[in-house]
Structure 1
Amino acid sequence: MVMALGPVGQIHISVSDLDRSIPFYRDVLGIPFLFRVPGQPMAFFQSGDVRLYLGQPESPRFQSNVLLYFTVDDIAAEYDRLTAAGVTIDEPPHVVHRDEASELWMAFLTDPDGQNLAIMQNRLTPRAGA
């Protein structure tokens, strides 16, 4: 099936204090910072192929309530790193799905504005007796 639209290029995340949110996304989460728009409450980050736009919406119509899932290579190590940085993890790493080939692990946290975020890792299922 051919997709009518292209892939997601940008996601808006509503923030109340850009000066507080930029260090969280850049320094704590480690997402590459692109730029801040001078004179506007707007900052941009690059998360893989998707750009994250942090901003204070001009009207309630554009207020976002998102749940972002970030992939990680080692969920236990990332959990340890985030908790050491003072991030409260609402739900520690746990399996949310398992099949013959893999397990999907997730942990849930919030940003300074209470936006829901998750880290996730897909692990190959160990073979019985291997």
Structure 2
Amino acid sequence: MRAVQIAQYAADLSRATAFYTDLFGAGPVASFDPPGLVFFDLDGQRLLLDGGAPPALHYYQVDDLDAVVARLRAAGAVIESEPHVIFTHQDDTLGPAGTEEVHAFTRDTENNLVGLIEFRPL
């Protein structure tokens, strides 16, 4: 079994679409209006922006967390938590062995919390 889709609340689809296009570096793959749905493809998993969806906390892996946080901050995003080490991976159970898992949190334009993760080699 694998997750296929995350539904994320978005009161203003245009504003939220711009935020996630900037975050992912790619625009949506489909939009339907009405009823007001925007889909992004994340390597086979869909992010659905929908005014009728509940808020969700989701995490995205990035290659350079400091650069992403700086880019989001420059674009006016609220950074809730600066990059910080969560734990070190001794084995491959939850992430690559021999890395530190570093998290930061931001708010999207709809006030949803978004987690960003980088696996940094020790």
Same fold at TM > 0.5: yes
Counterpart of 1:80 (choices 70, 91, 98) is 70
How big is each residue's C-alpha offset from its partner over 1:47-90, in whole Å with a ceiling of 9 and x where there is no partner? 12210111121xxxxx4221111101111111111111111211
Paired residue for 1:20? 15
- 1:7 match: secondary structure: coil
**Inter-partner Cα distance in structure 2 for 1:56 and 1:109:** 20
Displaced runs of 4 or more, over 2 A = 27-32
CA contact (8 A) 1:32 1:47 kept: no
**Inter-partner Cα distance in structure 2 for 1:46 and 1:96:** 27
| RMSD between aligned residues | 1.6
TM-score normalised according to structure 1 size: 0.80
CA contact (8 A) 2:8 2:55 kept: yes
How big is each residue's C-alpha offset from its partner over 1:82-105, in whole Å with a ceiling of 9 and x where there is no partner? 111111211011111125522110
Are 1:105 and 2:81 counterparts?
no
Higher relative contact order (CA closer than 8 Å, sequence separation 6+): 2
Flag the structure with larger Rg: 1
CA contact (8 A) 1:20 1:112 kept: yes
Counterpart of 1:56 (choices 51, 59, 83) is 51
Q: 1:40 to 1:79 in 2, by over 3 A?
A: same
Paired residue for 1:41? 36
**Inter-partner Cα distance in structure 1 for 2:24 and 2:80:** 16
TM-score normalised according to structure 2 size: 0.85
Q: Which has the higher mean CA deviation after the structures are superposed, 69-78 or 25-34?
A: 25-34
Q: How many residues align?
A: 115
Q: 1:74 to 1:17 in 2, by over 3 A?
A: same
- 1:109 match: secondary structure: strand
Are 1:115 and 2:105 counterparts?
no
**Inter-partner Cα distance in structure 1 for 2:82 and 2:43:** 24
